[in-house]
Amino acid sequence: MQSYDDYIDQDVNMQPYDDYIDQDVNMTEPVDPVNHPSHYTSSDIECIDAIDACVCNYKSPVHAGLVWQVIKYLWRAPLKGNYNEDIRKAKWYLDRLVTKLGPDKAV
C-alpha cells in the first residue's frame, strides 16, 4: 500500500509549482508584511477574516485553533512559495484534530 506522504508527493508533483500560483495577483502594490502579508491578502477576503468566520462556531478552543491552522496553511500554500511544506503542515494539524476527536467525540 502506498504511504500517504508518497501519495501527496505524487499528487502535488504532477504539475510544475508555477501552475498553482495565481498569475493575476498584483505583486507591485506596497506590502505590509506584519499587518497584511501578501500571502494572506491575495483576494478580496483576507485570510484572517475568513478563518474567524469559519471557526466562530466551534465549542472547543483547541479544535478551533487546530482548524485555524489547517485553513491558514491551505490558504497560503500556493502563494508563499512553500507549497509542499504548507500542505504537509495543514495535514499535520488536521491529523492532530482527528486524534483529539477520538472515535465518539463531536466538535
Distance CA 7, CA 96 (A): 19
What is the value of pTM for the model shown? 0.60
Question: Which residue in 58, 94, 52 sits closest to 73, CA to CA?
Answer: 94
Question: Which residue in 107, 87, 67 sits closest to 20, CA to CA?
Answer: 87
pLDDT score at 79: 85
pLDDT score at 39: 56
pLDDT score at 71: 94
Identify residue 32 by its one-letter amino acid code.
D
Sign of CA dihedral 56, 22, 83, 80: negative
Per-residue burial over 44-77, b if 16 or more Cβ lie within 10 Å, else e, is eeebbeebeeebeeeeeeebbebbbbbbbbbbbb
